[in-house]
Every structure is written in structure tokens, then in C-alpha cells.
């Protein structure tokens, strides 16, 4: 079996079966906007007698906790079918979120697709996670990524306004209220005149999204994506 599909804007998936194992390569951004469609795509690759899945994450440039939750649920389904899910060639960006959420201890992680397929952990195992740890310990000006480009104040304020207009949707998707303080901070910053304060508040909210998954919500996905693009205009240009 060989297949390729666009999961959503900014995320592609290709899959091939070899030796009784399905290898799925993801390329792009694994975030709350793409998570529901990705879940369907990955679960469609699992069935009785064909439930061993390796996911190549070497080309994933962004990931949040909601995206990782899809991998966890897929791993659970694979285990129920008698198979497994293994991560391979994890990019530093994904490794950082694995480390922040603690999921590096629960999702099998291998340095290469070959190692994941054979189950042989090599000496390089953990390099990506180590890179994630380094990024957390010393995030630098861009928090593990290209140099930070200042957000356009107008775009940022528009994205913040759109997100705050959907605050009820965020609350509904967040029964544990882990985002309440971040939303309040962003609301206060938006009503002020300090663009730097708004930038900081917006990045704090997206940082929380990197640690805690939210329930599926089109409004949350759309507003989170717009805010992230306003904060990272170079990524927005690359996606168009």
C-alpha cells in the first residue's frame, strides 16, 4: 500500500507498507487545526492484522500538545489491535513538545525509520529529545526556530480580537480552565496600547497550547492558527 494525502493546510501525509509495517511520513505543521483530520487519517491505517505503525516526524516543523494527543490516541488504538505505534527521526521541534508534556516517556521514539521498524534502539536514540531539552533550557530569541520576526501590530491585534471574540469556544474546549489566565492576560493587553505586551501575552497563550491539548473546535483551531501566523509572518509567507 502506498498513499499520499494533504491532511490540512500545512500538513501532508504519505504512507507505505513494507514487511508488515506501515510507515507514515508527516510533513508540515501538526497543530490543533489539523489534529482532527490527522486522527482520521492515522486510524484509517490501522486494522486487525495490520496494526504496526511507524510515524516519521523528521519533516514536522511545528507541533502542539493537541497534535501529540492524536499520536497518543493512535498508539492506544494500535495497541488494542495487537500492534504498536513508534515515532522515528523526531525533529527538534517535536522533541521539545514531547519533553514539555512528558510524553517522551510514553511514546516509543527511535532515531531512524529503520530502527523503529526493527525495534532496535541505536546509540543516537534521544538526540532529538536532548535537542528539545536544550531548547527548553536555553530557548534563545526564537525558542528553537528561525530568528524571531516582529509581528505586524495591526495583524496581531486583529488576530487577538478574533480569538477573544471566540473566548466561549476556548472555554468550552478547555474544561480544566488551563487557558483562562492566558486569555485574561491577552484581553488586558489588547485593551492597552503596548504592542509588546500583547505580543508577550499572545506567545504565552500559544505556549500553553503547546503544553495542554484542547478538545476539537473549528473556532479554536482557526483563531489559534491565525494568531500563530500573525506572530510568525515568515511561516505565513512560506505557507502561501
Task: Please write the tens of the pLDDT for every residue from 4-52.
Answer: 777 777 899 999 988 889 999 999 999 999 999 999 999 999 988 889 9
Q: Which three cell numbers stand for residue 14?
A: 504519505
Half-sphere exposure of 159 (CA within 13 A, CB side): 28
29 plus 109 within the same structural domain: yes
Strand partners, 14: 4, 25
Identify the domain containing residue 75 by its residue range: 2-137
The DSSP call for residue 104 is G
116 plus 230 within the same structural domain: no
Q: How many CB atoms lie within 10 A of CB 203?
A: 19
165 plus 224 within the same structural domain: yes
pLDDT in tens, 77-134: 999 999 999 999 999 989 988 888 888 888 889 999 999 998 865 444 455 555 455 5
218 plus 99 within the same structural domain: no
186 plus 230 within the same structural domain: yes
Single pTM value for the model: 0.75
Q: Which three cell numbers stand for residue 162?
A: 478574533
100 plus 214 within the same structural domain: no
226 plus 161 within the same structural domain: yes
Amino acid at each position: 500500500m502506498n498513499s499520499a494525502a494533504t491532511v490540512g493546510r500545512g500538513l501532508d501525509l504519505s504512507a507505505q507498507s513494507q514487511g508488515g509495517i506501515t510507515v507514515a511520513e508527516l510533513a508540515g505543521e501538526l497543530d490543533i487545526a489539523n489534529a482532527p483530520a490527522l486522527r482520521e487519517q492515522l486510524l484509517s491505517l490501522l486494522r486487525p492484522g495490520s496494526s504496526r505503525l511507524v510515524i516519521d516526524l523528521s519533516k514536522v516543523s511545528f507541533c502542539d500538545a493537541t497534535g501529540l494527543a492524536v499520536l497518543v490516541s493512535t498508539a492506544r488504538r494500535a495497541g488494542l489491535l495487537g500492534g504498536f505505534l513508534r515515532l522515528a527521526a523526531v525533529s527538534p521541534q517535536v522533541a521539545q513538545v514531547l519533553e514539555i508534556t512528558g510524553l517522551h516517556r510514553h511514546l516509543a521514539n527511535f532515531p531512524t525509520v529503520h530502527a523503529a521498524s526493527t525495534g532496535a534502539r541505536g546509540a543516537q536514540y534521544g538526540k532529538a529529545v536532548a535537542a528539545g531539552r536544550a531548547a527548553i533550557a536555553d530557548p534563545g530569541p526564537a525558542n528553537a526556530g528561525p530568528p524571531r520576526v516582529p509581528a505586524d501590530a495591526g495583524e496581531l491585534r486583529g488576530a487577538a480580537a478574533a480569538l477573544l471574540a471566540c473566548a466561549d469556544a476556548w472555554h468550552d474546549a478547555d474544561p480544566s480552565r488551563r487557558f483562562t489566565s492566558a486569555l485574561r492576560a491577552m484581553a488586558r493587553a489588547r485593551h492597552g496600547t503596548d504592542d509588546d505586551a500583547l505580543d508577550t501575552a499572545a506567545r504565552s497563550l500559544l505556549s500553553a497550547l503547546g503544553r495542554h491539548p484542547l478538545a476539537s473546535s473549528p473556532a479554536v483551531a482557526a483563531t489559534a492558527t491565525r494568531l500563530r501566523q500573525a506572530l510568525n509572518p515568515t511561516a505565513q509567507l512560506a505557507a502561501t
